[in-house]
Structure 1
Amino acid sequence: MTAPSGMMHWIQSFLEAQAAELDAATNTQLAYARDLKDFADWLDRRKIHFLDADRTTIENYLISCEAEGLAVSTRARRLSAIKQLYRFAFEEGWRSDNPAVQIKGPGKPKRLPKTLSVEDVDRLLHAARTHGRDTARNTCLMELLYATGMRVTELVSLPIAAARGNPQMLLVRGKGGKERMVPLSAAALNAISDWLDVRDTAEDLAKRKGIPASKFLFPSRSKDGHLTRHRFFALIKELAVAAGISPERVTPHTIRHAFATHLLAGGADLRAIQTMLGHADLATTEIYTHVLDDRLKDLVLTHHPLSKKRTT
């Protein structure tokens, strides 16, 4: 097949294939588009086309990214996007090789996830129940997040159908369109029930005004029709302040980490946690064991009699 002439057409064709064949998430698609456009702009300034770039060219681009001070994670993501673009080009017959296939990424440093204590989460949940006007919605959001460990996009885009009928398990659509079932706690079920009462009343009033019913559990007037990631991020910060916790310590992701860490500390099986988090690789989940390793070490150093200095 003849390759497109313009580099933007390469990117567009690649993204369309990702959307059609892999059902790539919108956020993933946007990240690919940004990274590949940056690479295309860098090549264009050097009068080089995707068709002509070789391994050395790509490595020089990555060196320039490092010189700009880009984070290791950003450079690794850009290389991943480039590799996938050229794999697509090879499969389409646009190129006879993949010049990026043997390039090794910078490697992400293994950092322990920041997490919150059980007491911190209790204070956040209390703030959700008592702070602001939308307490039923906020409580439902927070209880679901902590009970399931969902990613923020998975949470805000939950369909209303998933919450109907007092479900004991929630069907979550994750990255790449993969679905998984996560159990619901009694507190989460109560929060869903309370929120549905408020939500359905508001929906009935909207219908009388000719406004069509929303298909989302957390509807809003946003372009997507549901509560946005940015609004939920801001809400988390507001609840942190109301709970007397530094807002720098609290994000949707730290609550996801708290869900996993608290389950593991309570004796849950690592593979069960992997399934509930939607991790494709168990190694991603295993990082939580390091968080517990540090806590156990502190516990021993603080309380074990042999760790205390003997006085004579």
Structure 2
Amino acid sequence: MPPRKRPPANSRFQVRKPADPGVHLEPFLHYLEAECGMAANTVSAYRSDIVQFLDWYRAQKPVPLSEVDLAFLSGYLQHLNRRKLAATTVSRHLVTIKLFFRYLVLEGVLAESIADLLNSPKLWKYLPKVLSPEKVNQLLSAPCRQDRYPLRDRAILAMMYATGCRVTEIVTLPLNAVKLTEGYARCVGKGNKERMVSLNPVAVAAVEAYLRHERPDMTRRNTAEQALFLNRGGKQLSRVMVWNIVKKNAARVGCSKEVSPHTLRHSFATHMMAGGAEIRALQELLGHANIRTTQIYTHVDHSRLKAVHQMYHPRG
């Protein structure tokens, strides 16, 4: 019996691999930026999350997007958990996947989004690390003569703690948006939303000293730059440089492993809650779109809850 011939390459019996979902990546990112109005850093974070998901997707048994089920996506969440990622990081990855699948539905690639059936990991156990007011004071005083621009560094630390601003909001803050006499600044947060933040006397004094003694020398190299905080070339300071400034000075006060630029934001929010700030007001100050994000700080402030109990409970 003669051997069976293989079907030709263009035969209808040929097994086709599912189309690579990576073709939807760039259109999805454009959708986030152009139609959803997301900031460039947010879009960049979503890009990183989707690229990681697609890399994992390709490593699995090839399956079309239309056949992706709940078990398949749950497998990816288990993969993230095996990497020992924080619950907040896993949640962010999940949000990205949900947005991606909703976009595919909008574009008619999928009939429905199976990703919406996934539950977010519980975040109530996660509490942001914060510094005590005493440790914050030590950190703000840490910049010294050994540094090239100690007044600038002190002003950055003081501004971050006084306002609770994100790193990106600090480095992009224009000089004309800071009103030292009135004690406030206008910053642009996520989604290009502008908000007003207050400056305490410590921050005002630190910025005034920087503007008087260091910034004029920086601007000689670049008179057109409008950012408040500059590098030695007179250009806008980068996020990485702010990170290095925070870590360097945190090491000087003995807490480098615990502290990042976001630690100052967490400390600001926690200390505001301890001082009696209303959660809605804190939401505005932090620039949170959803109050659920702000509610994490209610779990941190045990001291204030205890004081309220002692004050009002009849057996307190």
Shorter-chain TM-score bucket reads 0.7 to 0.9
| SS of corresponding position for 2:65 | coil
Letter in 2 for 1:248: K
What residue number does 2:251 align with? 241
| Structure 1 unpaired stretches of 5+ | 308-312
- Identity across the alignment (%): 36
What residue number does 2:183 align with? 168
Give the CA deviation at 1:143.
1.5
Pick aligned residue for 1:97 from 112, 115, 129:
112
Pick aligned residue for 2:30 from 9, 13, 16:
16
Give the CA deviation at 1:180.
0.9
What residue number does 1:150 align with? 165
Pick aligned residue for 1:55 from 70, 92, 101:
70
Deviations 1:47-90 (A, max 9, x none): 22434423332223333433454443333222211111111111
| SS of corresponding position for 2:118 | coil
TM score, norm. by length of structure 2: 0.80
Instruction: Say whether residues 1:274 and 2:288 are aligned partners.
Output: no
What residue number does 1:180 align with? 195
Give the CA deviation at 1:212.
5.3
- Return closer, same or farther for 1:138/1:70 CA change in 2, 3 Å cut-off: closer
Deviations 1:164-206 (A, max 9, x none): 6745321111122222111112222222222223455224521
TM score, norm. by length of structure 1: 0.81
Greater mean alpha carbon deviation, residues 160-169 or residues 179-188: 160-169
The structure where helix makes up a greater share of residues is 1
Pick aligned residue for 2:240 from 218, 230, 237:
230
For the residues of structure 2 that align with 1:141 and 1:103, how far apart are their CA atoms? 40
| Structure 2 unpaired stretches of 5+ | 1-18
- Return closer, same or farther for 1:255/1:86 CA change in 2, 3 Å cut-off: same
Instruction: Select the structure of larger CA radius of gyration.
Output: 2
| More RCO (CA 8 Å, sep 6+) | 1
| Number of corresponding residues | 292
- Return closer, same or farther for 1:281/1:48 CA change in 2, 3 Å cut-off: same
- Please list every run of at least 4 consecutive aligned residues from structure 1 whose deviation after the TM superposition is greater than 6 angstroms: 298-301
Letter in 1 for 2:229: F
Instruction: Say whether residues 1:26 and 2:35 are aligned partners.
Output: no
- The alignment's C-alpha RMSD in Å is 2.9
Q: Is the Cα contact below 8 Å between 1:151 and 1:253 reproduced in 2?
A: yes
Q: Is the Cα contact below 8 Å between 1:203 and 1:213 reproduced in 2?
A: no
What residue number does 1:310 align with? none
Give the CA deviation at 1:215.
2.4
For the residues of structure 2 that align with 1:275 and 1:56, how far apart are their CA atoms? 39
